């Protein structure tokens, strides 16, 4: 297939509704629960908005960058809320300290008669910082350490597409009472995720291991070449070289750790005669094999999971663990 021509690079901010791009309320006065509910609703709006971008790699990239801006704003708002709560807690603790200091002074005034040793002991204690001063110093140290941790986490969040994507995907799955179940990050991850799903939801006689799924996928692609070959890069020609590339591609699917993607998912749905649902951070749920009955097998697609890029995980219900 001929390569697609790319247009001028867009500004990701242009793809975000104005009211979702900037903080428009006093987040410091918002409770944590109120903020989480608002963030969840905003992510849902973004998913619906990003669906209008269409499909394809460019649309996915636009959606990911747009969602990253919203997720980054959410992170800043959570930090603002956290700092406001910490400030209120510190103020309350200071008031308590002042009350205790006054009580301590009253107790000292009531003690009139002391031995010489006791008086010397009092003088030594007065030279040390008071309990309230020590508590304030400890809180200051804890706050500095906490601020350093937050700064480090925020710095990572600002540059990590993985974290932004993970937060958005987790929020989406929570709405359905589901969560990600990690599988090993290697070239077999798609097949491992589906093997886990077949084990959880019943395989109906289908081989449950990675090798069995790979062989079933390759067999289906060979038997229905016209359906799958046009979607494999550099394999849709009529010449001998294209034929050789197609044969090599299917052979790799069958017997190597070649990474699987959408073409393989289509073939696997047909091979095992089960619908497959693919969840991602920014795109609507993709469902393949809708013509087949049975419980859908669910996998999560991660565009920025690891240094190597794309990755698939299994998906489980929250109560399964």
Q: Which residues are catalytic?
A: 186, 189, 311
List, edge to edge, every strand of the sheet that includes 309-317: 178-181, 309-317, 297-306, 276-279, 286-288
- Asked if residues 286 and 277 have their Cβ atoms less than 8 Å apart, the reply is yes
SS3 of 126, please? helix
Kindly state the helix (H) or strand (E) to which residue 252 belongs, with its residue range.
Answer: helix 240-255
300 - beta bridge partners? 279, 313
Place of tokens 């410091």: 28
| Rounded CA separation 87/206 (Å) | 58
133 token code pair: 């001063």
Category of 213 on φ-ψ map: left (φ > 0), alpha (ψ -120 to 50) or beta: alpha
CA distances from 174 to 140, 180, 248 (A): 37, 10, 41
Category of 134 on φ-ψ map: left (φ > 0), alpha (ψ -120 to 50) or beta: alpha
| Rounded CA separation 42/128 (Å) | 53
- Asked if residues 283 and 49 have their Cβ atoms less than 8 Å apart, the reply is no
299 - beta bridge partners? 278, 314
Residues shown for the chain: 321
- Asked if residues 10 and 141 have their Cβ atoms less than 8 Å apart, the reply is no
* Close Cβ partners of 50 (under 8 Å, ≥ 6 residues apart): 15, 59, 62, 63, 66, 67, 282, 283
């Amino acid at each position: 297939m001929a390569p697609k021509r790319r247009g001028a690079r867009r500004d990701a901010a242009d793809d975000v509704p104005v009211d979702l791009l900037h903080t428009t309320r006093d987040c410091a006065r918002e409770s944590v629960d109120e903020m989480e509910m608002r963030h969840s609703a905003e992510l849902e709006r973004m998913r619906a908005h990003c669906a209008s971008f269409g499909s394809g790699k460019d649309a996915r990239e636009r959606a990911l960058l747009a969602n990253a801006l919203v997720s980054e704003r959410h992170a800043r708002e959570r930090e603002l809320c956290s700092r406001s709560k910490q400030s209120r807690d510190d103020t309350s603790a200071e008031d308590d300290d002042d009350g205790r200091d006054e009580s301590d002074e009253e107790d000292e005034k009531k003690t009139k008669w002391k031995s010489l040793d006791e008086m010397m002991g009092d003088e030594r204690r007065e030279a040390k910082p008071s309990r309230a001063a020590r508590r304030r110093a400890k809180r200051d140290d804890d706050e500095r350490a906490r601020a350093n941790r937050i700064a480090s986490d925020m710095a990572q969040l600002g540059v990590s597409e993985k974290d932004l994507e993970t937060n958005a995907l987790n929020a989406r799955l929570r709405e359905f009472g589901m969560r990600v179940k990690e599988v090993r990050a290697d070239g077999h991850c798609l097949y491992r995720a589906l093997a886990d799903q077949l084990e959880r939801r019943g395989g109906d006689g289908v081989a449950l291991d990675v090798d069995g799924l790979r062989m079933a996928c390759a067999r289906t692609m060979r038997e229905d070449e016209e359906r799958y070959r046009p979607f494999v890069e550099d394999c849709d020609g009529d010449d001998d070289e294209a034929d050789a590339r197609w044969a090599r591609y299917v052979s790799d699917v069958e017997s190597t750790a070649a990474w699987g993607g959408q073409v393989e998912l289509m073939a696997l749905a047909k091979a095992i005669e089960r619908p497959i649902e693919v969840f991602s951070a920014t795109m609507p749920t993709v469902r393949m094999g809708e013509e087949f009955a049975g419980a859908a097998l669910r996998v999560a697609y991660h565009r920025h999971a690891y240094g190597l890029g794309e990755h698939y995980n299994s998906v489980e219900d929250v109560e399964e663990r």
